[in-house]
Amino acid sequence: MSNQETRTDHLTIIPRNQHNVSRKSISEAALKVLYRLDKSGHRACLVGGGVRDLLLGKRPKDFDVATDATPEQIRELFRNSRIIGRRFRLVHIRFGREVIEVATFRGHSEESPRTELNTEGRILRDNTFGEIEDDAIRRDFTANALYYDISDFSVLDYANGLADIESRTLRMIGDATTRYQEDPVRMLRAVRFAAKLDFEIEESAANAIFDCGAQLTVIPVARLFDEIVKLFHSGNASRVFELLRHYRLLQYLMPQLDLWLQDSPDESMLDFIDQALVNTDIRVNNNQHVSPAFIFAVLLWPLVQQQAAKLQSDKTKPIAALTQAGSEVMAQQLKYISIPRRYSQMSRDIWSAQPRFQRTKGKYPLRLLGYPNFRAAYDFMCIQSMVGLAPKKMCEWWTDFQQQHKPAESHRRQPPRTREYRRKRGRHAS
């Protein structure tokens, strides 16, 4: 911290020449929103992950804006905008594929009739507007509560977030237990940011997760799905998995998997999960397509196999047993996380393709090549072969076989990875 910085009661202002947040690294769309709000006489700041990641020298995933303009005023300024959300009213401003999320500064919740809490202290709805300093302390972690002010390009720090970024500490603003009670998803956000940013969760925020974990069961299953996808597509899924285990959160998200993990699981199956997650991380970091279906297929695979083995001992044929086991395990899982049907079906396709990779004679291989979601099933099989759960030769054989059938297949099975294609496919993928 230098002497040029101004410290008021709770605010530290870091002037432009004292930080590395540059307009060059901010998207044109975000700058347009900031400038137009500013010109119209409003306060306009970049906030959240955008500022945090730029300070860390990383490329932000998206840009969030905070302002004193109300949602209606924002709507009037931007034709390409719409108001979304009920719990928190926000405005989405669309520029082609990019969406800038603009939120009005939020005020004190407790005394406001516009904030609804349930009996456990969970925030159901909160649309009380306020000042920027109130807005800052309503955010989750100090590293997420920094503002980049477009009027003079300074960074505003109301929660000592800069020091925490420097020491790579994820610190909850306020009392961690209360903040988890208000919104239990903050526990999953803690895990995600700790993994993604390689931050240490500060002790009291970390300890409170052990006490508050069970509150995740009150979160609507659809919101949990979105959060789980964000966790496993964060580019650090392998670490996320470790942390979810460490904080004993899996029991509330994937109880079947949690039980299996407690029951001295098979090492090669654990290796498989880890390899598959590492593989997903590599794909995410290379901007390749990833699907939630693959993640669920991987994480539920030990249970599906276990259940299939049980059914087989009851005289069901192997392939039929696998299909039935897949449906049963998925049905159990859906009680905890609502996985949209297109993904749960794809996970089942990946599973039921696995025994079919053994048939390399006659008409079978070509038939499998035309199987729904062949490519994901093939990746899944090759990862199994890497850890000794399938023969090494099998992956090699199918790699060659695909090469030989590439011209016709690539035309039919591999749509070009255009932006439009990714946007449609990737809607839930990031």
Residues assigned a catalytic role: 62, 64, 140
* Binding site partner of 144, from ligand ATP, Mg ion, none, Cβ cut-off 5-8 A by kind: ligand ATP
Q: Which is nearer to ligand ATP, 19 or 52 (CB)?
A: 52
Structure tokens at 376: 């994901």
Decide if 123 contacts 182 (C-beta within 8 A). Answer: yes
In the complex, the smallest distance separating the C-beta of residue 67 from ligand ATP, rounded to whole angstroms, is 13
Strands 169-170 and 200-201, sheet pairing: parallel
Residue 30 interacts with ligand ATP (CB under 6 A): yes or no: no
Reduce the DSSP state of residue 379 to 3 states and report it: helix
In the complex, the smallest distance separating the C-beta of residue 33 from ligand ATP, rounded to whole angstroms, is 15
Q: Which is nearer to Mg ion, 193 or 357 (CB)?
A: 193
Residue nearest to Mg ion (CB): 49
Structure tokens at 285: 């970091």
Handedness of CA 359, 364, 365, 369 (dihedral sign): negative
Residue 48 interacts with ligand ATP (CB under 6 A): yes or no: yes
Q: What DSSP state is assigned to residue 41? A: T
* Binding site partner of 348, from ligand ATP, Mg ion, none, Cβ cut-off 5-8 A by kind: none
Structure tokens at 306: 């276990």
Q: At what angle do helices 185-197 and 237-246 cross, to 10 degrees?
A: 130
Residue 184 interacts with ligand ATP (CB under 6 A): yes or no: no
| Stretch 185-224 residues interacting with ligand ATP (CB under 6 A) | 185-186
| Stretch 2-61 residues interacting with Mg ion (CB under 5 A) | 48-49
In the complex, the smallest distance separating the C-beta of residue 78 from ligand ATP, rounded to whole angstroms, is 19
Site string for ligand ATP, 105-144 (x = CB under 6 A): ----------------------------------xx---x
Among 5, 38, 62, 271, binds Mg ion (CB under 5 A): 62
Stretch that binds ligand ATP, among 28-36, 56-64, 314-322, 341-349 (CB under 6 A): 56-64
Q: At what angle do helices 374-386 and 292-313 cross, to 10 degrees?
A: 70
CA distance 103 to 326: 42
Reduce the DSSP state of residue 29 to 3 states and report it: helix
CA distance 99 to 29: 8
Phi, psi torsion values for 402, nearest 5 degrees: -65, -40
- Where does this chain bind Mg ion (CB under 5 A)? 48-49, 62, 64
- Where does this chain bind ligand ATP (CB under 6 A)? 48-49, 61-62, 64, 139-140, 144-145, 183, 185-186
